[in-house]
Amino acid sequence: MTNAIFTGLMLGGMYALIAMGLTLQYGVARIMNLSYGEFLVAAAFASYWLFTGWALNPLLALAFVIPAGFGGSLILYRILLTPLVRRARTRDTLEVDSILATFGMMFIVQGIMLSMFGGAYFSYSFLAIPVSLFGEILALNRLIAFGLAVAVGLALYLALTHTRLGTSIRAVAVDPMAAQLVAIDVVRTSAFAFALGGALVAAAGVLISMFLTFSASSGVIFTMKALIVVVMGGVGNLLGCLVAGLALGLSESLVATFVDPGLTLAVNFALFLGVLLVKPAGLFGRAQR
């Protein structure tokens, strides 16, 4: 039982970490990024390549991969997504357009990775040392990833609530029109939030690659989990992200331990639908007028 809870918490922390970037991209920049998981896997491959080719510690690789994720996402937003933002008349049309555009991007990134690495599964062994904690045996790399995820989440939360830029990001998330009235450059703030989300997903990809097997086509699953967590927690809400991620992780590991490992996805969806039918805006979301 304790083992199941521990595994669930770890898994949930990972889901929360994965979803944080998406909640920024969707909540602030209004881009429903369906290629999100592909970028996560791309970061995992970058970490794999740096580790096997250059013997670079994945924790140091973060220093390269995170800026790359930030820059890459910024360029992507500027070149591909800004035309859609300009073209969209309402928020709904932007949502549909961004879904379709990022859908195409998903295939492109996946296609590039398939041609570079093939369809095989990859993993590398880094700090796979058993550690005993509260009488349970856990792998050190998972613990480190969990700790870093918590640190990143905390740093992001503080940055959003205690800095000027963070406050303007939250203002755009609440109401882009009103944000303009208090002299916030909505276009630049959105681009920044999207790029920040890209940096977060890059970090998540590196951390996950330390203990999880991945392949060029496994991005879809990550996208799906991140979407479920973001919508369940309430779009643009970091605390909601954390709670929803933990709930998802815990329910998954409990079902896998006590019922059947083959039914985890069914539980995900049951939880997702259950929450949305009771609270359509998500656990911590405000109802839209």
Q: At its nearest, how many Å lie between another protein and the CB of residue 276?
A: 6
Q: Which residue, 88 or 131, has its beta carbon nearer to another protein?
A: 88
Q: Which residue, 61 or 105, has its beta carbon nearer to another protein?
A: 105
Q: Which residue, 94 or 238, has its beta carbon nearer to another protein?
A: 94
Q: At its nearest, how many Å lie between another protein and the CB of residue 47?
A: 22
Q: Which residue, 34 or 62, has its beta carbon nearer to another protein?
A: 34
Q: Catalog residues that contact another protein under the rule CB under 8 A.
A: 32, 34, 80, 83, 87, 92, 95-97, 99-101, 103-112, 114-115, 220-221, 223-224, 227-228, 231, 260, 262-266, 268-269, 272-273, 276-277, 280
Cβ neighbours of residue 131 closer than 8 Å, sequence gap 6 or more: 137, 138, 139, 140, 143
CA 215 – CA 37 distance, rounded (Å): 11
3-state secondary structure of 213: coil
Q: At its nearest, how many Å lie between another protein and the CB of residue 199?
A: 23
Q: Tell me the angle at which helices 186-209 and 36-54 cross, rounded to the nearest 10 degrees.
A: 50
CA 248 – CA 20 distance, rounded (Å): 14
Q: Which residue, 203 or 231, has its beta carbon nearer to another protein?
A: 231
Cβ neighbours of residue 97 closer than 8 Å, sequence gap 6 or more: 84, 87, 88
Q: At its nearest, how many Å lie between another protein and the CB of residue 4?
A: 19
Which residue, 166, 185, 164, 167, is CA-closest to 176? 185
Residue 156 in contact with residue 228, Cβ under 8 Å? no
Q: At its nearest, how many Å lie between another protein and the CB of residue 155?
A: 28
